Amino acid sequence: MRILLIDDDADFRVLLKKLIRAEWSRAVVDEIDPLQTEPAPRDIDAKRYDLVLLDHQMGHISGLQLLKSFRQIPKFPPVVMLTAFGNERLAAAAIKCGADDYLPKSRLTSSQLVTTIRESLRGALGPKLSPMAFSSRRKRGGSAVGVSIKGYDVTEKIATGPASAVFLAHSHNLNKKVVLKILYGAFELSDEHELLERFLIEYQSISAIKHPNIVEIYDVGVADDHAFIVMEFIEGGSLRTRLQQSGSLAPDTSLKIAFDLVGALAAIHDVGILHRDLKPGNVMFRRDGSLCIIDFGLAKQVQIEQAITQPGKIYGTPYYMSPEQGQGLAIDIRSDFYNLGVLLFELLTGHKPYVAGTPVALVFKHTYAPLPELPEKLNKYQFLIDSLMAKKPADRPQSSAQIFELLKHCQTL
């Protein structure tokens, strides 16, 4: 990985280089002191670098103006703006000018820097858990799709991610179709315990819950260097697909779905678990029409949060995450309630409440933008959206029971 660092503070450049090389020992960091050599954007070889770290103000030189010039260059690498303070207005200006992210120098930590670099590179380079890290392992196994687990005939790959994949399989013991989720190279990740722990917590958390609106877990195990989970096969399609087909759902249908989701969240919260990633793609329908929440890969047990989560680390989908979740702050059940509010808004309108070009900009909108407004024909439900999507957790419902009461009131309108 090669990074270009443009900053007029020599001491800070030394610090950044040390932090970067502590995580990526073979990274190359080139420096430009703009007060010594004023950077000419057209003279910078964009193809040479994977990332640019750019100071906001360097003497008489404006980093924002440089950023605008960089964005005129085809295929210019991601740019992270460095600011002296955590000024939201300045961060917004940087994003507007084309920055992929920003970092405040005054409270910069190693984990913040590493996380920001990884997110800006979008997993393509540098991260130990990039897709390429698993490419050779995915060719192992004896089945047609490269996976062999005793007791299961794997027939089809359903989905894949950077470190895991989901397959359709036939269970010998159950004599029916099941879904098989596999974490690749689990025991080779000796320096990446968090991923394996999260995967196992997914099973431990859900298997103890018996609820009609939560996917059923059948088995968990290990095979070769893979950890796996076997779960219920749900063949009625996803809520995301229904939204794509219809654009929006009728209010009574939307409220019914919200009722079921609140019930599922209540069951999860009762055992000390947060979902953290409630979205249409994680809601599936069975053949009988009942729905259930799936994919608890981001679920966490509240009581062991500090053991597996680095401070300031963000998990979740930016379109649906709460303001506190997007800022990497401590979260509780009220964050899941915010996710539910975003989802309900999308059910009623057919579109997301906030859209933006980058994840960082989305986080800013969830945190600072005015509450989204429903169309006039739906304004009788506005109080529900305002309550669930309140910026401050203290202004949201404090329990599932309170949300049930709000939903019951909506049904009488």
Query: Between 357 and 77, where is the model more confident?
Result: 77
> pLDDT of 45-92, one tens digit each?
878 888 999 998 888 888 888 888 888 888 888 888 888 765 667 777
Q: Is the pLDDT of residue 134 over 80?
A: no
- Residue 289's alpha-carbon distances to 212, 239, 246, 253, 284, in angstroms, are 12, 11, 16, 12, 9
Indicate the CATH number for domain 2-127.
Answer: 3.40.50.2300
Say what the pLDDT of residue 315 is.
60
In 3D space, the residue among 369, 370, 364, 316 whose CA is nearest the CA of residue 343 turns out to be 316
Say what the pLDDT of residue 56 is.
86
Q: How far apart are the first and last CA of the chain?
A: 58
Say what the pLDDT of residue 168 is.
93
Say what the pLDDT of residue 336 is.
95
**Average pLDDT score over residue span 267-284:** 90
Query: Between 114 and 140, where is the model more confident?
Result: 114
Q: Is the pLDDT of residue 127 over 90?
A: no
% the chain with pLDDT above 90: 38
Q: Is the pLDDT of residue 213 over 70?
A: yes
- Residue 121's alpha-carbon distances to 3, 236, 245, 283, in angstroms, are 11, 36, 33, 29
Report angle CA 361, 367, 369 to the nearest 5 degrees.
80
d(CA 29, CA 375): 51
Domain(s) labelled CATH 3.30.200.20 in the chain stretch across: 133-232
Tell which phi-psi region holds residue 101, choosing left (phi > 0), alpha (psi between -120 and 50) or beta: beta
Q: 100 and 87 in contact (C-beta within 8 Å)?
A: no
Read off the pLDDT band of 301 (50, 70, 90): low
Say what the pLDDT of residue 124 is.
39
**Average pLDDT score over residue span 131-157:** 57
Topology classification of domain 133-232:
Phosphorylase Kinase; domain 1 (3.30.200)
Q: Is the pLDDT of residue 140 over 50?
A: no
Domain(s) labelled CATH 3.40.50.2300 in the chain stretch across: 2-127
- 112 three-state secondary structure: helix
Query: Locate tokens 């995580």: which residue?
Result: 23
Question: Active-site residues: which are they?
Answer: 277
**Average pLDDT score over residue span 164-179:** 91
Say what the pLDDT of residue 298 is.
65
Residues 6 or more apart whose CB falls under 8 angstroms from that of 379 comprise 373
Query: Between 409 and 203, where is the model more confident?
Result: 409
By mean pLDDT, which of 6-15, 21-30, 158-167, 190-199 is the weakest?
190-199
Average pLDDT score, the chain: 82
- Regarding pTM above 0.85, the answer is no
CATH 1.10.510.10: does it fit domain 239-411?
A: yes
Domain(s) labelled CATH 1.10.510.10 in the chain stretch across: 239-411
Pairing of β 300-301 and β 273-274: antiparallel
Pairing of β 61-62 and β 57-58: antiparallel
Q: Is the pLDDT of residue 98 over 70?
A: yes
Query: Locate tokens 């059940």: which residue?
Result: 333
Say what the pLDDT of residue 45 is.
82
d(CA 31, CA 39): 11
Q: Is the pLDDT of residue 129 over 60?
A: no
